[in-house]
Amino acid sequence: MLVKRGGMIKMNFIKPDIALLNVLTKLPDENGSQLVEFALALLVLLTMMFGIMYFSLAMYSYHFVTYAAQEGARFAIVRGNAWQGKGSCSTSAPPNFSMKYACVAQSSDVQNYVKSIATPLINSSQITVTTTWPGSTPTCTKNCGICATANSQGCQVKVNVSYDFGYAVPLVRSRTLTFAGSSSKTIQE
């Protein structure tokens, strides 16, 4: 510390507290602190990486659900009541999916078709498909004469798809998210 006295500058030194020095010299050294810091940093990094991966997989699953609803509705609109003489599609569930092409689609056929288009990262057993033929047209919502048979040409078909997505990120509680998609289209054939 600098002190000015009568034109001269003198330096006064603060005497260290002996008791404080004794305590500081008895503290443990820093051996191993780098390992602890690395472990904490790695934990944060891995949590972020797994979080990003599961978020990406969740977005992928959501995209699949909306795509599957659209494809399921498309499957139903080209297999309407106009194919009545050809019989039902008689699809089999995945992984042995098979069907006839000229056929009338039933709810189970749409479900089997949607499950068959599941991509490798999608667990097809977690997919739920509900298909309804509300008996209405785009311009008529009740008592439509054209829709006496619900899956007639010009009538609506609605496909709802839901998927239960489970995730487990370190340090975050595991949960299941349910993604849902819906598509409504007019039967063409």
pLDDT, one tens digit per residue, over 58-116 is 999 999 999 999 999 998 888 887 776 666 777 777 777 777 677 788 888 889 889 98
Does residue 26 fall inside a structural domain?
A: no
23 backbone dihedrals φ, ψ, rounded to 5°: -65, -45
Does residue 107 fall inside a structural domain?
A: yes
Determine the pLDDT at residue 80: 80
Residue 24 — very low, low, confident or very high, per pLDDT cuts 50/70/90? low
Residue 33 — very low, low, confident or very high, per pLDDT cuts 50/70/90? confident
Nearest C-alpha neighbor of 77 from the set 176, 161, 152? 152
Average pLDDT over residues 30-41: 84
Name the residue range of residue 116's domain: 32-186
Determine the pLDDT at residue 17: 64
Does residue 5 fall inside a structural domain?
A: no
Task: Look at the pTM and tell me if it is higher than 0.85.
Answer: no
* Total domains, the chain: 1
Does residue 22 fall inside a structural domain?
A: no
C-alpha of 189 from chain center:
34
Give the pLDDT confidence of 142-189 residue by residue, as tens digits: 666 677 777 788 888 999 999 999 887 666 777 889 999 999 998 887
Does residue 99 fall inside a structural domain?
A: yes
For residue 82, the tally of other CB atoms under 10 A from its CB is: 16
